[in-house]
Amino acid sequence: MMAQYLALREEAGDCLLFYRMGDFFELFFEDAQKAAAILDISLTSRGEHAGAPIPMCGVPVHSAEGYLARLIRAGCRVAIAEQTESPAEAKKRGGSKALVARDIVRFVTAGTLTEEALLEPRRANVLAAVCELRGSIGLAACDISTGRMELEECAADQVSAALARVGASELVVPEVWEGTPDGAIGRPSRDFASETGEASLKAIHGVGTLDGFGMFSRAMLAAAGGLIAYLDHVGRGKLPLLLPPEVRSSGTALAMDEATRASLEILQSSQGGRKGSLIDAVDRCVTGAGARQLADDLSAPLTDRIAIAERLELVAWLYEDALLREDLRGALRALPDIGRALGRVVAGRGSPRDLGQLRDGLSGGRRLHERLGRKGELPALLARLMPAMAGHGALVDLFSRALVSAPPTERGQGGYIAEGYDASLDELRKTAGNARRAIAALEAKYRDETGVAALKIKHNNVLGYFVEVPQRHADKLLLPESGFTHRQTMAGAMRFNALALHEEASRIAEAGAHSLAAEEAHFEELIGTAVAARNAIAATAAALARIDVAAGQAERAAESGWSRPDIVEEPCLEIEGGRHPVVEAALAAQRERFVANDCRLSPQDRLWLIGGPNMGGKSTFLRQNALIVLLAQAGGFVPAQAAKIGLVDRLFSRVGASDNLARGRSTFMVEMVETAAILAQATERSFVILDEVGRGTSTYDGLALAWAVAEAVHETNRCRCLFATHYHELARLAETCDALSLHHVRAREWKGELVLLHELGEGPADRSYGLAVARLAGVPAKVVSRAKAVLDKLEKGRAQTGGLAAGLGDLPLFAAAEAAREEACDTLRERLKDVDVDALSPREALELLYELKRETAAD
Query: What pLDDT digit, counting tens, does each position of 596-605 carry?
Result: 999 999 999 9
Confidence check: pLDDT of 809 > 60: no
User: What pLDDT, on a 0 to 100 scale, did the predictor assign at position 777?
Assistant: 75
The model's confidence at residue 661, banded by pLDDT at 50, 70 and 90, is very low
Q: Is 525 helix (H, G, I), strand (E, B) or coil?
A: helix
Between 510 and 454, name the one with better pLDDT. Answer: 454
Angle at CA of residue 765, ends 759 and 770, nearest 5°: 95
Q: Could you give the count of Cα atoms lying within 13 Å of 668 in the half-sphere of its Cβ?
A: 9
User: What pLDDT, on a 0 to 100 scale, did the predictor assign at position 768?
Assistant: 66
Share of the chain above pLDDT 90, in %: 66
The alpha-helical segments, DSSP class H, found in 634-714 are 667-681, 699-712
- C-alpha distances (whole Å) from 699 to each of 3, 611, 704, 805 are 69, 16, 8, 11
- C-alpha distances (whole Å) from 646 to each of 305, 568, 572, 603, 778 are 10, 5, 5, 11, 43
* Mean pLDDT for the stretch of residues 507-515: 83
Length of the chain, please?
Answer: 859
Distance CA 530, CA 859 (A): 73
Which of 30-34, 49-53, 472-476, 662-666 is predicted with the least confidence, judged by mean pLDDT?
A: 662-666
Residue 640 in contact with residue 655, Cβ under 8 Å? no
pLDDT one-digit tens code per residue, 90-137:
888 877 778 889 999 999 999 999 988 889 999 999 999 999 998 899
* Mean pLDDT for the stretch of residues 294-302: 97
Angle at CA of residue 807, ends 806 and 812, nearest 5°: 140
> For 119-250, which CATH superfamily applies?
MutS, connector domain (3.30.420.110)
Confidence check: pLDDT of 307 > 80: yes
Distance CA 670, CA 651 (A): 18
**What are the binding residues for ATP?**
612-619
User: What pLDDT, on a 0 to 100 scale, did the predictor assign at position 754?
Assistant: 63
Distance CA 425, CA 815 (A): 90
Residue 569 in contact with residue 277, Cβ under 8 Å? no
- CATH code: domain 561-809 is 3.40.50.300
Distance CA 794, CA 94 (A): 94
| Common-topology check for domains 283-392+533-559 and 423-525 | yes
Between 417 and 91, name the one with better pLDDT. Answer: 417
Q: Is 565 helix (H, G, I), strand (E, B) or coil?
A: coil
* Mean pLDDT for the stretch of residues 600-616: 90
* Mean pLDDT for the stretch of residues 623-627: 97
pTM for the full model?
Answer: 0.86
Between 412 and 387, name the one with better pLDDT. Answer: 387
Between 843 and 588, name the one with better pLDDT. Answer: 588
Between 372 and 97, name the one with better pLDDT. Answer: 372
pLDDT one-digit tens code per residue, 539-595:
999 999 999 999 999 999 999 999 999 999 999 999 999 999 999 999 999 999 999
The sheet with strand 597-601 has its strands ordered as 566-568, 642-646, 573-578, 597-601
Distance CA 649, CA 652 (A): 10
- CATH code: domain 283-392+533-559 is 1.10.1420.10
The model's confidence at residue 28, banded by pLDDT at 50, 70 and 90, is very high
Residue type at 338? I
For the beta carbon of residue 691, count every other beta carbon within 10 angstroms. 23
User: What pLDDT, on a 0 to 100 scale, did the predictor assign at position 788?
Assistant: 78
* Dihedral-angle region of residue 363 (phi above 0 means left; psi in -120 to 50 means alpha; beta otherwise): alpha
Distance CA 151, CA 533 (A): 23
User: What pLDDT, on a 0 to 100 scale, did the predictor assign at position 664?
Assistant: 53
Q: Identify the bridge partners of residue 128 per DSSP, sorted by sequence position.
A: 141, 171
User: What pLDDT, on a 0 to 100 scale, did the predictor assign at position 801?
Assistant: 62
For the beta carbon of residue 448, count every other beta carbon within 10 angstroms. 10
> Which residues make Cβ contacts (< 8 Å) with residue 92, sequence separation at least 6?
none
For the beta carbon of residue 292, count every other beta carbon within 10 angstroms. 27
The model's confidence at residue 742, banded by pLDDT at 50, 70 and 90, is very high
H or E stretch at 825: helix 815-833
To the nearest whole number, what is the mean pLDDT of the chain?
89
> Which residues make Cβ contacts (< 8 Å) with residue 219, sequence separation at least 6?
131, 132, 133, 134, 136, 137, 138, 153, 194
DSSP state string for 47-100: EEETTEEEEEEEEEGGGHHHHHHHHHHTT--EEEEEE-S-HHHHHHHH-TTPPP
**SS3 labels along 184-233:** CEEECHHHHCHHHHHHHHHHHHCCCCCCCCCCCCHHHHHHHHHHHHHHHH
Q: Identify the bridge partners of residue 760 per DSSP, sorted by sequence position.
A: 745
Confidence check: pLDDT of 452 > 70: yes
| 578 backbone dihedrals φ, ψ, rounded to 5° | -75, 145
Which of 136-140, 160-164, 428-432, 639-643 is predicted with the least confidence, judged by mean pLDDT?
A: 428-432
User: What pLDDT, on a 0 to 100 scale, did the predictor assign at position 766?
Assistant: 66
Distance CA 442, CA 435 (A): 10
Confidence check: pLDDT of 816 > 50: no
Confidence check: pLDDT of 805 > 70: no
User: What pLDDT, on a 0 to 100 scale, did the predictor assign at position 54?
Assistant: 93
Q: Where are the domains of the chain?
A: 2-108, 119-250, 283-392+533-559, 423-525, 561-809, 815-858
User: What pLDDT, on a 0 to 100 scale, did the predictor assign at position 806?
Assistant: 57
Q: Is 140 helix (H, G, I), strand (E, B) or coil?
A: strand
Residue type at 563? S
Between 391 and 803, name the one with better pLDDT. Answer: 391
User: What pLDDT, on a 0 to 100 scale, did the predictor assign at position 808?
Assistant: 57
User: What pLDDT, on a 0 to 100 scale, did the predictor assign at position 657?
Assistant: 59
Residue 112 in contact with residue 229, Cβ under 8 Å? no
Distance CA 48, CA 57 (A): 15
Between 646 and 778, name the one with better pLDDT. Answer: 646
**What are the binding residues?**
612-619
For the beta carbon of residue 64, count every other beta carbon within 10 angstroms. 20
Distance CA 737, CA 319 (A): 43
Out of 3.30.390.30, 1.10.1420.10, 1.10.1840.10, 3.10.310.40, the CATH code matching 423-525 is: 1.10.1420.10
Share of the chain above pLDDT 70, in %: 93
- CATH code: domain 2-108 is 3.40.1170.10
Confidence check: pLDDT of 814 > 50: no
Which of 348-362, 445-459, 537-551, 690-704 is predicted with the least confidence, judged by mean pLDDT?
A: 690-704
pLDDT one-digit tens code per residue, 185-218:
999 999 999 999 999 999 999 999 999 999 999 9
